[in-house]
Structure 1
């Protein structure tokens, strides 16, 4: 099943994509409702869809397929880390700590973009994309829908489906703030694109390899030219292990989005800058189109719009470190 949200003449619809049409969920259900009920709820809703219902897909504007409860983004591809580290640190290096656990950061769930949306980035000289696949956490009827300390096997059962994710990045801002040993923050939180829809996990089961990795092909194009391509199965961990790790001493809930991290072999410009020893290919500029294509899921396209200048915030002021008020 493919699950989507869309705009039709100013009205938001939520439901299924069936062939070349979109069909609303029955009884006013929303994507959030279906995620909370899990795949069984989706199947029950799908069984009640009429054959002639819906609207032409070409007549609606697709939105991000969900309003995320949270967004975690992993860094799971060794090849990506090698290339980006060469650009940031001057040498290709993967820290030993990377191999110990699937590290992630939280990004902004309030700046989510959908298919075809125009990104308005901050003022940056190094605007970049990141080609990723994201899993969507789902629930089940009668469950508390709040899971902590999941085993890998149990984590597999709460993966509702997958979508494409573009983690837009301002590399110059990111590089500055990460020298403080936190982040990324403002180098990332201005826009994350999801879409074009959620494909339920059962649809991609034929692509699972013998080790449980999702061997689907991912490609990214800038203005029609292919920049990168990879198999998602080149991640260091399969998707259920992302969920299990995220839930450790914490919790995951329906609607959580967990990004795979950027695929290797040109999944972002930053990797190529490190490998090429300079800004080749050129950073993204206003008017550039980024198109991502992932086997079994679909295509996600976004365009770079005008940059938005930031309101000034003064630098830190020297302080006397008094321990008592004078």
Structure 2
């Protein structure tokens, strides 16, 4: 099943994508409500909609898709070894993967208030090195009797409600400055994350998951019609259930959380290619460029880079006396 949010004649709708149309949930339910109820409750809800679906169907061509959920939080992992190899070379000229990367998955929190949808125009901060990132995200749903805390991988599997495409837009020059402070990324990332075009429920992929929990589906990135990168999602260092379990360690995952796979290898972003080429080839994204991410079994995200907006300057740190009293 596919679940989406959209606008139609100025009103927000939330419900199922059926064929080439959308049908609202009954009883004014929202995606947030459905995620909280969990995947086990979805068949009954779909049956409730089925009888009236044809009468309430609105063609996809007549709606504007929104991000498929309002996330409770967004964690983004770095689960592709090949991506780490390429990006480290773009930063310091030497391709390497730290031994610590192999020990446990690593993630950062990004901004749930900067989520945009397919079709939206991304307006990045002032940057000369704008980049996309080809990722898949899992969406967490409710599980009866579980608070989502300290999950084992097998338990974490049940919390995966579905999958969506995830584009972690990045201002690489801003990010590089931040990382010199050993903190971040922050403003190099938090201006936009694209999710969509909808959530495809986990049961749709059940027959594809291998014995180790990996999902071997094709993921691709295109810039202005040219395929820049492609990979298999199963080239992650950990399956999603391990990422969910790690996120829950000494913490919780809750319905509406989104966990990104991290950027794919083999051209999953421009920075990886810059590191391998030793130059800005292909060039950074510019105003008017179209980025399309396609994921087998989910669909595609399509975004156009907009004009950078002006922001007021922030002065540098003031050198203070370090006096300990007002004296």
Tell me the TM-score range normalised by the shorter chain: over 0.9
* Secondary structure of residue in 1 paired with 2:185: coil
Per the alignment, residue 301 of structure 1 pairs with 302
- Cα distance in 2 for partners of 1:146, 1:89 equals 42
- Cα distance in 2 for partners of 1:275, 1:65 equals 35
- 2:107 equivalent among 87, 101, 104: 104
The answer to whether the aligner puts 1:94 opposite 2:97 as a matched pair is yes
Per the alignment, residue 12 of structure 2 pairs with 12
- Cα distance in 2 for partners of 1:230, 1:263 equals 6
Per the alignment, residue 135 of structure 1 pairs with 138
- Cα distance in 1 for partners of 2:324, 2:82 equals 49
Using the TM superposition, give the Cα deviation of residue 304 of structure 1 relative to its aligned residue in structure 2, in angstroms. Answer: 0.2
* Secondary structure of residue in 1 paired with 2:38: helix
Residue 146 to residue 309, structure 1, CA distance change in 2 (3 Å): farther
The answer to whether the aligner puts 1:176 opposite 2:153 as a matched pair is no
Give per-residue Cα distances to partners, 1:232-262, cap 9 Å, x unaligned: 1000000000010000011110000000000
Aligned ranges 1:92-241 → 2 under 5 Å: 92-140=95-143, 143=145, 146-241=147-242
- Cα distance in 2 for partners of 1:206, 1:302 equals 31
Q: Please report the RMSD computed on the Cα atoms of aligned residues, expressed in angstroms.
A: 0.9
Given that 2:131 and 2:171 are in contact with CA atoms closer than 8 Å, whether structure 1 keeps it comes out as: yes
Per the alignment, residue 246 of structure 2 pairs with 245
Structure 1 residue runs of 5 or longer lacking an equivalent are none
Per the alignment, residue 62 of structure 1 pairs with 65
- Cα distance in 1 for partners of 2:237, 2:323 equals 48
- Cα distance in 1 for partners of 2:66, 2:42 equals 19
Given that 2:143 and 2:158 are in contact with CA atoms closer than 8 Å, whether structure 1 keeps it comes out as: no
Pairs aligned (count): 324
The answer to whether the aligner puts 1:43 opposite 2:46 as a matched pair is no
Per the alignment, residue 292 of structure 1 pairs with 293
Given that 2:23 and 2:53 are in contact with CA atoms closer than 8 Å, whether structure 1 keeps it comes out as: no
Aligned ranges 1:25-44 → 2 under 5 Å: 25-44=25-44
Give per-residue Cα distances to partners, 1:125-147, cap 9 Å, x unaligned: 00000000000000035x4x632
Using the TM superposition, give the Cα deviation of residue 123 of structure 1 relative to its aligned residue in structure 2, in angstroms. Answer: 1.1
Using the TM superposition, give the Cα deviation of residue 309 of structure 1 relative to its aligned residue in structure 2, in angstroms. Answer: 2.3
Q: Structure 2 length normalisation: TM-score?
A: 0.97
The answer to whether the aligner puts 1:80 opposite 2:83 as a matched pair is yes
Using the TM superposition, give the Cα deviation of residue 40 of structure 1 relative to its aligned residue in structure 2, in angstroms. Answer: 2.2
Using the TM superposition, give the Cα deviation of residue 208 of structure 1 relative to its aligned residue in structure 2, in angstroms. Answer: 1.0
Per the alignment, residue 22 of structure 1 pairs with 22
Using the TM superposition, give the Cα deviation of residue 9 of structure 1 relative to its aligned residue in structure 2, in angstroms. Answer: 1.1
* Secondary structure of residue in 1 paired with 2:206: helix
- Cα distance in 1 for partners of 2:309, 2:102 equals 37
- Cα distance in 2 for partners of 1:67, 1:248 equals 23
Structure 2 residue runs of 5 or longer lacking an equivalent are none
